[in-house]
Structure 1
């Protein structure tokens, strides 16, 4: 699938855990491992916003 995604600069955590966020003109949001942008997870911008807010609120801490 050919997407025209505007990718942000990679965000890297500890070590080599880097990912990128992107959006397209249709209002979709994308998350991909840096270097693997051709295989992103995609959803709406609202869903991405809720995911990020949930992570910031500690709802994913049990996964760490």
Structure 2
């Protein structure tokens, strides 16, 4: 498992919380808060687009 630096959890209005992280190679990660050992990885741009859509209410059903 890479050394991932996790940001503080982002929580929506309900109990849905997720965390973003990065490693020293510049890879980006996303996980459900509390499950940091199980994560998705993609480019920063792809994850940034996903998070912006979630925050804009376009993809809240994914959480």
Do these two structures clear the TM 0.5 threshold for a shared fold by scoring above it? yes
Task: Please provide the CA RMSD for this pair.
Answer: 2.1
User: What displacement does 1:58 show?
Assistant: 5.3
- Structure 2 alignment gaps of length 5 or more: none
User: What displacement does 1:44 show?
Assistant: 1.1
TM-score scaled by structure 1? Answer: 0.75
**Rg (Cα) greater in structure:** 1
- Structure 1 alignment gaps of length 5 or more: none
Distance across 2 between alignment mates of 1:48 and 1:37: 16
- Count residues with an aligned counterpart: 62
Distance across 2 between alignment mates of 1:53 and 1:12: 14
